[in-house]
Amino acid sequence: MGNILNPPLLEVRNLKTHFPTKAGMVKAVDGVSFHITTGGRLGIVGESGSGKSVTSLSIMRLIDPPGRIVEGEILLKGRDLTRLTEREMRELRGRELSLVFQDPMSALNPVYTAGAQVIEALQAHRTLSNSEARERAIQLLRMVGISAPERRVDEFPHKLSGGMRQRVIIAMALANEPELLILDEPTTALDVTIQAQILDIVRGLRRATVLLISHDIGVVREICDEVVVMYGGRVMEWGQVDQVTRAPKHPYTRGLLSSIPNPEMRGKPLRTIGGAVPNLLNMPRGCPFRPRCKQAVRECMEMPPLESKPDNSKVACWLA
């Protein structure tokens, strides 16, 4: 999980991203820390409202006002992104770090062809002629598995299937070979076959360091080396994927894993985590998972620290 010989490419330290509302302060991300080494693949999992997507948007510095990062550091190769100007961030976005949004239709401009949008991403950071950029765009579309890219390059987003649109978004993100690729629910709303194809593309990326945001711990298990489990804007558990999925230490992680369908459960009802995700305007005292946890004890009225364990995993649970 990072060492002197392989220092972190990205290090997030005590990140807090809050949104003031008329009803009160929404602490969407409330003290999150993790890191990714160069070439690593880290997944962040959790239910809707856990703070996963806000974490990724915070890293990209794309939080819309009045929301803002109120505390913490986001270090990319030691450079704190929270201290950069918007102009400096624009230079980094696409070139050193890129984000693949979960909704390709909202990420693509409907009045420009797929090729024009990939070309724009290329020319934002490279000096390429229009013909050179077009040829490179065709290569990128081919690389992400789009058939007949010479024809698709001139088609508008509404002419493409959901899977193809997601591939175009990935091609745009990869255009300038960023060191860090963030994927926010890249397979949401796609059928199972297309999901598998998109995951194969991600799995085949050799040079990029990957941060994968997902509600599906099964998807993260296929792609990633490490996993961070978030709940209520906090990190509950963090470790090697095999460690966390085979021997989860936090009750919430165990709940997520037990809710994954498997062949042994045929004919049996799916297990679920009782209760509902917390209201971010009225968070429970102490551990945010306490009201839903069957193992909660009196000590859970105070938030436990994220502590290292002998196997190098980290867990925020008094019972761990």
One DSSP character per residue, the chain reads: ---SSS-EEEEEEEEEEEEEETTEEEEEEEEEEEEEETT-EEEEE--TTSSHHHHHHHHTT-PPTT-EEEEEEEEETTEEGGGS-HHHHHHHBTTTEEEE-S-HHHHS-TTS-HHHHHHHHHHTTS---HHHHHHHHHHHHHHTT-SSHHHHTTS-GGGS-HHHHHHHHHHHHHTT--SEEEEESTTTT--HHHHHHHHHHHHT--S-EEEEEES-HHHHHHH-SEEEEEETTEEEEEEEHHHHHHS--SHHHHHHHHTS--GGGTTSPPP--SS-PPPTTSPPSSSTTGGG-TT--GGGGSPPP-EE-TTS-EE--TT-
Place of tokens 């040829």: 135
- Going from the first residue of the chain to its last (320 residues), give the mean pLDDT of each consecutive group of 10, the final group possibly shorter: 72 98 95 96 94 97 96 97 96 94 83 96 92 96 93 95 91 93 85 84 86 92 95 97 95 90 65 86 94 94 95 94
Count of Cβ atoms closer than 10 Å to residue 71 Cβ: 14
Q: Give the per-residue pLDDT at 294.
A: 92
Residues whose CB falls within 8 Å of the CB of residue 203, separated by 6 or more in sequence, listed in order = 222, 223
* Domains within the chain, CATH numbers bracketed: 8-96+179-315 (3.40.50.300), 107-177 (no CATH)
Q: Give the per-residue pLDDT at 198.
A: 84
Place of tokens 């002419």: 159
Model pLDDT for residues 49-98, shown as the tens digit of each residue:
999 999 999 999 999 999 999 999 999 999 999 999 999 999 999 999 99
Strands in 79-80's sheet, in edge-to-edge order, are 24-37, 8-21, 68-76, 79-80
Half-sphere exposure of 31 (CA within 13 A, CB side): 12
Q: Give the per-residue pLDDT at 3.
A: 54
- Angle made by CA atoms 228, 232, 233, in degrees to the nearest 5: 65
Tallying the residues shown for the chain, one arrives at: 320
Q: Give the per-residue pLDDT at 288.
A: 96
Q: Give the per-residue pLDDT at 266.
A: 64
Q: Give the per-residue pLDDT at 4.
A: 52
Q: Give the per-residue pLDDT at 194.
A: 82
Q: Give the per-residue pLDDT at 268.
A: 67
- What is the distance of C-alpha 33 from the center of its chain? 14
Task: For residues 99 and 10, give the distance between their C-alpha atoms in angstroms, rounded to a whole number.
Answer: 14
